């Protein structure tokens, strides 16, 4: 078996500050740009010297055989996306090299290589050309792509009028159907409805079975387990494990738990959009009636407290509850207000979320936290906390045990013949 992808001591360094906060006003931006230009001109040309650099990928040596399906897992900023960007030639490595054999189809992060002003049809051909296909080849595949993406009615509509789900569906269909020898997919499966996710998962399995190479990044570990034989765990730009996918998932879950148990302020894997006017200091999940930390009881009240470093006016918080495989279970979002919410001054730098009763079946869950204020993401942490749910009683009815299907408990009543 020949290698589809082989890397040797691959490394990528980014200069921090190359992408600073967006400018607020024109005047400010001009002043800042002027100062920055002067500062840059004063330095020796050719050296990108904003000082702080970060190695997004270091000394990565690996080989992926033709027809292998490999899952990449790791925290935010572990280097997964950087690796896919290098392999798809969007960015160059700083050190080492990678040999890529065969045509590469890629879907990087959310968003697509589409031109917003062109129609869906025109974009399919443009992407085909970029993949190195002749028009005739694209034409042969065209109907299949369109029916897979379910965008028949919008073919002659500019892509800018597509919903993000439609655009990603079309982008995935293009990448998967244009017969790339290597398919690189980053987190697409988190977009779009469940039916499409299933369909695209099926398509990727099919691509892998046809002897083509698939490399997938997903926080949804169930997807990794279902699709990939092999898993690679990245941490701080290095591969810390390269093993069967199920093992890699376990290994990654352990690193997640370890990270949540440590000091959250120390963590570097924060949401890259963060402005950091305030930072997540600690996250507490407690059973509200007993005060027990980290262990909730189904059907009983609970409280989640996000401790921050600063109190900012108008803060909002989004909590995502995920099951142990990283599949989202529920999202609690304060920016969708309810009359039950309160806002008070001087509460201190903390946000509190109260659940009248826990509607989850027993098991282990993970909490992702995102804090917004001043119209920007201020801080975000995945796996900021873990908690367990023990079986309890809902509306006087015992909850089904852990073996039952599903993740949530619904209050309900039966009408049965005597």
Partner 1 sequence: MSAARPAPRTVRLEPSRGLGRALSPGELWAYRDVALQLAVRDLKVRYRQTALGVAWAVLQPLLTMVVFTVFFGRLAHVPSEGGSYALTALAALVPWTFFSNALTVSSQSLLANVALVSKIYFPRVYIPAGAVAAALADLLVGIVLLLATVLAYGRTPSAGALALPLLAAVAAAAALGVGAAAAALSVRYRDVRFVVPFAVQLLLFVSPVAYPATIVPEPWRTVFAANPLVGVIEGFRWAALGTPAPWSAIGISAAAAAVLLAAGLLYFERAERGFADVV
Token look-up 């897992």 returns 73
Residue 149 region, left (φ>0) first, then alpha (ψ -120 to 50), else beta?
alpha
The pairing of strands 69-74 and 230-235 is: parallel
CB of residue 126 to partner 1, shortest distance in Å = 5
Closer residue to partner 1 (CB): 103 or 307:
103
CB of residue 48 to partner 1, shortest distance in Å = 8
Closer residue to partner 1 (CB): 132 or 165:
132
Q: Using the 8-state DSSP alphabet, how is residue 113 labeled?
A: S
CB of residue 129 to partner 1, shortest distance in Å = 4
CB of residue 112 to partner 1, shortest distance in Å = 6
C-alpha–C-alpha distance, residues 359 and 394, integer Å: 8
Closer residue to partner 1 (CB): 176 or 249:
176
Q: Where are the beta strands (DSSP E) in 274-362?
A: 280-287, 295-297, 302-308, 316-323, 328-333, 350-355
CB of residue 247 to partner 1, shortest distance in Å = 29
Residues that bind partner 1 (CB under 8 A): 14-15, 18-19, 23, 29-30, 33-34, 36-37, 48, 85-103, 106, 108-109, 111-118, 122, 125-127, 129-130, 132, 134-135, 179, 181, 210
CB of residue 21 to partner 1, shortest distance in Å = 13
Closer residue to partner 1 (CB): 40 or 364:
40
CB of residue 382 to partner 1, shortest distance in Å = 22
Q: Please state, as a whole number, how many other Cβ atoms lie within 10 Å of the Cβ of residue 31.
A: 12
* Cα–Cα separations (whole angstroms), residue 154 to 107, 115, 161, 167, 405: 21, 15, 9, 11, 38
Closer residue to partner 1 (CB): 112 or 286:
112
Report yes or no: 146 and 173 within 8 Å, Cβ to Cβ.
yes
Instruction: Read off φ and ψ for residue 208, nearest 5 degrees.
Output: -65, -40
CB of residue 282 to partner 1, shortest distance in Å = 33
The pairing of strands 104-107 and 182-186 is: parallel
The pairing of strands 316-323 and 280-287 is: unpaired
CB of residue 72 to partner 1, shortest distance in Å = 17
CB of residue 148 to partner 1, shortest distance in Å = 17
Closer residue to partner 1 (CB): 14 or 275:
14
CB of residue 340 to partner 1, shortest distance in Å = 41
Q: Please state, as a whole number, how many other Cβ atoms lie within 10 Å of the Cβ of residue 137.
A: 14
Closer residue to partner 1 (CB): 133 or 228:
133
Round to the nearest angstrom and report the end-to-end CA distance of the chain: 66
C-alpha–C-alpha distance, residues 173 and 148, integer Å: 6
Task: Say what angle helices 164-177 and 120-130 make with each other, to 10 degrees.
Answer: 40
Closer residue to partner 1 (CB): 166 or 355:
166
Residue count of the chain: 418
Chain mean position to CA 205: 20
Residue by residue, DSSP assigns 169-234 as: HHHHHHHHHS--SEEEEESGGGSS-HHHHHHHHHHHHHHHHTT-EEEEE-S-HHHHHHH-SEEEEE
Closer residue to partner 1 (CB): 112 or 255:
112
Closer residue to partner 1 (CB): 15 or 347:
15
Closer residue to partner 1 (CB): 35 or 397:
35
Q: Residues with Cβ < 8 Å from 210, sequence gap 6 or more?
A: none
């Amino acid at each position: 078996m020949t290698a589809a992808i082989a890397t040797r001591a691959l490394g990528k360094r980014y200069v921090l500050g190359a992408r600073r906060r967006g400018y607020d006003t024109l005047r400010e931006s001009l002043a800042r740009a002027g100062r920055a230009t002067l500062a840059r001109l004063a330095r020796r040309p050719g050296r990108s010297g904003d000082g702080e650099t970060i190695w997004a990928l270091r000394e990565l040596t690996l080989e992926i055989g033709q027809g292998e399906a490999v899952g990449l897992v790791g925290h935010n900023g572990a280097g997964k996306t950087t690796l896919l960007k290098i392999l798809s030639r969007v960015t160059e490595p700083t050190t080492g090299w990678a040999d890529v054999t065969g045509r590469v189809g890629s879907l990087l992060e959310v968003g697509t290589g589409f031109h917003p002003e062109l129609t869906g049809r025109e974009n399919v051909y443009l992407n085909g050309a970029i993949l190195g296909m002749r028009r005739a080849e694209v034409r042969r595949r065209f109907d299949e792509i369109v029916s897979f993406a379910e965008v028949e009615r919008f073919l002659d509509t500019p892509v800018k009028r597509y919903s993000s789900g439609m655009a990603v569906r079309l982008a995935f269909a293009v990448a998967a159907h244009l017969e790339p020898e290597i398919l690189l997919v980053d987190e697409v499966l988190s977009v779009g409805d469940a039916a499409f996710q299933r369909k695209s998962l099926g398509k990727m399995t099919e691509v892998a079975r046809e002897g083509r190479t698939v490399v997938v990044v997903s926080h949804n570990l169930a997807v990794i387990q279902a699709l990939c034989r092999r898993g690679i765990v990245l941490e701080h730009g290095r591969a810390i494990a390269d093993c069967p996918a199920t093992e890699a998932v376990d290994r990654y879950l352990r690193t997640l738990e370890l990270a949540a148990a440590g000091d959250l302020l120390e963590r570097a894997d924060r949401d890259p959009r963060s402005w950091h006017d305030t930072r997540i200091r600690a996250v507490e999940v407690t059973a509200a009636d007993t005060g027990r930390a980290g262990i909730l009881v189904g059907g009983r009240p609970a409280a989640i407290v996000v401790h921050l470093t600063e109190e900012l006016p108008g803060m909002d918080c989004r909590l995502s509850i995920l099951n142990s495989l990283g599949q989202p279970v529920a999202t609690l979002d304060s920016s969708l207000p309810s009359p039950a919410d309160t806002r008070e001054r001087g509460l201190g730098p903390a946000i509190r979320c109260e659940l009248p009763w826990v509607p989850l079946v027993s098991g282990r869950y993970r909490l992702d936290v995102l804090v917004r204020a001043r119209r920007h993401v201020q801080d975000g942490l995945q796996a900021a906390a873990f908690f367990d749910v023990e079986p309890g009683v809902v509306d006087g009815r015992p909850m089904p045990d852990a073996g039952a299907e599903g993740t949530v408990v619904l209050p309900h009543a039966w009408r049965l013949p005597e």
